[in-house]
Amino acid sequence: ACTTHRTHKRAQTSRFVLRTHKTSRYASLLNMLSLSLSATRSSMSFLLSKNHHRGSAASLQKGKTRTAKRVYFSVDANTPKKNGGGNTANNDNKKKEKKKESNTYAATVLLPQTTFEMRANSVQKEPLMQKWWLENNVYKHVANREESTGNLESFTLHDGPPYANGDLHIGHALNKILKDFITRYQALRGKRVRYVPGWDTHGLPIELKVLQSIEDPEVRKNLTPIKLRKKAAKFALGQVERQSKQFQRYGIWGEFENPYMTLQPAYEASQLEVFGKMFLNGHIYRGKKPVHWSPSSQTALAEAELEYPDVHVSQSVYVAFPIEATLEGANAIKDETLKSTLLDGSLKLAVWTTTPWTMPANAAVAMNPKLEYRVCDFKGEKIVVANDLVASLSETLEDTLTALGEGPFLGAEMEGLTYQHPTIKDRVNPVIVGGDYITTDAGTGLVHTAPGHGQDDYIAGLKYNLPLHSPVDDLGNFTEEAGSELFGLNVLGDGNEKCIEQLQAANALLKREPYEHKYPYDWRTKKPTIFRATEQWFCSVEGFRDDALKALDSVKFIPESGSKRMRPMVSGRSDWCISRQRSWGVPIPCFFFEETNEVLMDESIIKHVTDIVRKEGTDAWFMKDIEELLPSEHKSKASSLRRGTDTMDVWFDSGSSWNGVLNERGMNAPCDLYLEGSDQHRGWFQSSLLTSVAATGRAPYKTLLTHGFVLDENGYKMSKSKGNVVDPNFVIEGGKNQKTEPGYGADTLRLWVASTDYNSDVSIGSNVIKQTSENYRKIRGTLRFLMGVENDFKSKEHAIAFDQLPGFDQYCLYRLEETMKKIEIAYDNYNFAAVNSEINAFTTFLSNVYLDVSKDRLYLGHPSDAKRRAAQTVVHELITNLLAALAPILPHTAEEAFLARDTVAKEDKQISVFLQGWPTKKKNSNNNSIMSQADAKNWEALIDLRSVANLAIEDARNSKLVGASLETSIKVFAEDETFSRFLKTNEHFLKEMFICSEVTLCATLSDYEKKEDREEESKEVFSKSGDSDACAGKLFAAASKASGEKCLRCWCYSNALGTTDAKKHPKLCERCGPIVLDVAPDLVYHQEASNAEAVGASSS
């Protein structure tokens, strides 16, 4: 059915002839596609409305429809015809055959004919199309383009590796489909495009999956690292294969037969090369410092491996530390109140912390040297707090703090004083001055400092040479260093509570209260982490931070806000802990002397291990003897060494992909584009930047493009517990009951992606998909109609030069050119929603205006008539351009349509729409643009005048004066003189433009308002007026009943029926008569059929 027109006042069904193309590759695919249908299509017929199709803005807005009588006819008079799907009973067929036979002029109408089905049948046909792409090496033609054409221009989008664990979710679909839009568009632009999909295959989640699969605890306990690694590799490869099939079902193309995986020996070796360069450049070191530690995973974590749930409640405490009274300390103090309270031994420091379990590691109290502090009386005790917090602390501590002395003093005055640790009697700690992290936003203005459990604390500890206490083991339990009362207790549980009890027992606890805040969790186990000092390998970001920030200056961020998000992350980043205490990963190639624990690692060792890994993979590190892992100059030390057991952070794995993929495979470096979710500013984008700058001094990418997250259609985050998860596979394939849970296919899912503003969060749900499916059907219907009317057109034989086309056809090409410019700009800027919007707007113009107006000459004109060939010339250009515009978004549909066009339409002999190239700009024979803007404005004004005429026709319909627009006579007037002259020049075209039988063009408003001589007093006239942005003044149109009789072929009303041959064709108008005599000379009108309904031009 032609679903592309403004209103649907008649129904149509169609059947198709599967025409075998001369080129076997096209025939094989079309045969595959046809076999996927429920029944073989064998003929073509249309169910046409008796009433001439005529729409208006008013009827469309009101949603009006008309019930139509239907006339059946066949295109091929020699072929027995069946109506419907081929299963209609014989008696029904006989009734319909009678109707067909009574339609004398049916066979003279040039109806659309195409093998391109209205029904997409995507669930069956898309996999066949994907198979055809593989068999015909379409992607390989694009990837190897320079080898065959010498075209060296290329485009590289580097794929960020998803983790190889579990089924894909809708976020994966959004990401990969966006990437596919880009690579397919770049291929259409003639560039060499290589897209290498990748997978992150190391790390804890896979290791845990392997351990969970082993039910016997004894077997799990005795699992050696190499056995675990073998199982992990097998699991990861299985997940990659599974996810790869799912990605390809989305219509994603790329080197899926040769993807990159972080477990591949060549990739692992390239990663070690990056590590080696960073080490030799002085950016890798080993040290003991606090890192994010996951007790649940028993490993260090990077910032990118953390998540911060909205709600976490800690037990916060306010604690008083007693200052030691010393004469030396008092003499350095200027504030008399502070000095006197210090000397009498009653002064205490008030601190606040949300981690009471870190109290055993306390090594100092830090104050801001520029902040003002005050000695206050609190329940008879003298405590020091920030001056600005006295009032709020009185409320928090539920008792008044009374400020003492004449005024506040600066924190710098207290530097160097000492205090007694409240629960560890033999520990005396200093008061130090810290940095800007000490504020009055919360707490007391004094900070409990434990260098073994905090980054700021650690930096302060380096400055003051403080001890690095960290009495916590890998499980998060207190060690013996914390004391017998705490030993073995978990710091996130009983140990935390015990520390609070100790403070209370020491009379140091001022208050405890729950505190809700964001707290780091392990993103894999979803459990809280701790900050803990351990021996780790670090990347010293401080050494190249400025270079990294400078490298970002040359990177384009889309959206621009990405720069504001990422730059502070880099500028404020602490050193990167790159070591992990796991077996499944790339080992850090270092050795330790058994006696001294001193590290042995140099350029020769890294190179030697890298060469081994490139040949045998990283399993060799765990399997070979130490002597084999050492280069010749170090082999003699083998007996005194042990190998390191730490592996690299998985973010170092994926962050090295610029070397492991781009450099290893000879692709663009730096690459053109990285595209991932906005969370990757602190993840893969950042790890890639840091490794690349540290090793090569430059960023690995030219552009960073980010998308948001996918929410349900109500704007809520998806979760299984809420039951609002949208499975992309379910959208594509549907459920068990295809009637209630239909599969929409990959192209509908892709169209949804194209319709979103993906730079922010996007929504999806059943209603959204249904709406997208309707939009898809409209696009497909437009393509189908266009292809149907192109069926007998051969461009080389029939095309008309653009400057010889009628003005309306030139205007359509002008609109096409303007639309393609906007689409090209939108694609270049990755604005796919704008592409979708432009396509929808243009196809609406085609349906409502151009095709609606052009049907008459396409269906009823002489097959070789110049006006008909002009319309087909335009249609040919429309199809070529629309297929190119749609191909990146709807690749299956565009390819199916491309292959369904007659071989004569593919005169460049390309096998695929993706090898056809992007359409060239439209020029006339003088190499000028199709039409000037001034001329285009006139046509736009005429379209507006047509809308005014439609309103008048609608009034005439509603009054029952006419049934169809061809029954009307239209009278028009325009106040704008320029536009009025344009109307006069194109007066011959106005009847076709308004789809009516008569048009009167008035020179003045009085002429418009004056009754015609032939009009009777009782004749009804319906007048409307309107405005246009394309011209000045008002537009006027009036509709009345047309004179004359109806032509049985075109349904136009004429006063000259039968003038061509009154004997043979008394009911044909002056246009249709000569055409019928020429195309069907033996056809004679039968009197008995005079009451039968004939076929109207615009009713198909």
Nearest to 9 by CA among 1019, 1096, 792, 932: 1096
Dihedral-angle region of residue 280 (phi above 0 means left; psi in -120 to 50 means alpha; beta otherwise)? alpha
What is the average pLDDT across 859-873?
95
Where is mean pLDDT largest: 38-47, 97-106, 422-431? 422-431
CA 173 – CA 778 distance, rounded (Å): 24
pLDDT value of position 375:
87
Name the E strands within 306-427.
Answer: 306-307, 312-322, 347-353, 364-367, 372-378, 381-386, 402-403, 409-410, 418-420
The angle at the Cα of 1030, spanning 1026 to 1031, to the nearest 5 degrees, equals: 70
List pLDDT tens digits, range 326-383.
656 555 677 777 777 777 777 889 999 989 999 999 999 998 888 889 888 888 888 8
> Is pLDDT above 80 for 140?
yes
Q: How confident is the model at residue 103 (pLDDT cuts 50, 70, 90)?
A: confident
CA 606 – CA 630 distance, rounded (Å): 9
What is the average pLDDT across 731-751?
93
pLDDT value of position 218:
82
List pLDDT tens digits, range 402-415.
888 777 888 888 88
| Percent of residues, the chain, with pLDDT higher than 70 | 86
Q: Please give the structure tokens belonging to residue 313.
A: 């409640």
Q: How confident is the model at residue 839 (pLDDT cuts 50, 70, 90)?
A: very high
> Is pLDDT above 90 for 79?
no
Q: How confident is the model at residue 97 (pLDDT cuts 50, 70, 90)?
A: very low
pLDDT value of position 935:
93
| Percent of residues, the chain, with pLDDT higher than 90 | 58
Q: How confident is the model at residue 723 (pLDDT cuts 50, 70, 90)?
A: confident
Mean pLDDT (the chain) is 85
pLDDT value of position 404:
83
Query: How many other C-beta atoms can be found within 10 angstroms of the C-beta atom of residue 560?
Result: 8
Higher pLDDT, 458 or 284: 284
Q: How confident is the model at residue 525 (pLDDT cuts 50, 70, 90)?
A: confident
Q: Is 1057 exposed, middle or buried (0-12, 13-18, 19+ CB in 10 A)?
A: buried
Nearest to 125 by CA among 242, 15, 31, 254: 31
pLDDT value of position 628:
95
List pLDDT tens digits, range 18-54.
333 333 444 444 444 444 433 333 333 322 232 333 3
Q: Specify the 3-state DSSP secondary structure of 818.
A: helix
> Is pLDDT above 70 for 232?
yes
CA 841 – CA 833 distance, rounded (Å): 12
Q: Specify the 3-state DSSP secondary structure of 203.
A: coil
- Distances from the Cα of 806 to the Cαs of 678, 880, 881, 989, in angstroms? 51, 20, 20, 9
List pLDDT tens digits, range 981-1036.
999 999 999 999 999 999 999 999 999 988 765 545 447 899 999 999 999 999 99
Higher pLDDT, 126 or 62: 126
pLDDT value of position 908:
60
What is the average pLDDT across 142-166?
82
> Is pLDDT above 50 for 836?
yes
What is the average pLDDT across 844-855?
96
CA 164 – CA 198 distance, rounded (Å): 10
What is the average pLDDT across 812-817?
95
pLDDT value of position 895:
95
pLDDT value of position 332:
63
List pLDDT tens digits, range 298-323.
888 877 678 888 788 888 999 999 88
Does pTM top 0.75 for this prediction? yes
List pLDDT tens digits, range 922-948.
666 555 678 899 999 999 999 999 999
pLDDT value of position 1017:
47
Nearest to 173 by CA among 249, 260, 63, 82: 249
> Is pLDDT above 60 for 443?
yes
Q: Please give the structure tokens belonging to residue 1045.
A: 């009789």
What is the average pLDDT across 133-140?
93
Name residue 352's beta-bridge partners: 318, 447
Q: How many helices (H) and strands (E) does the chain have?
A: 39, 39
pLDDT value of position 403:
84
Q: List alpha helices for 45-121, DSSP H.
A: 57-62, 90-101
Give the range among 290-304, 584-598, 807-821 with minimum mean pLDDT.
Answer: 290-304
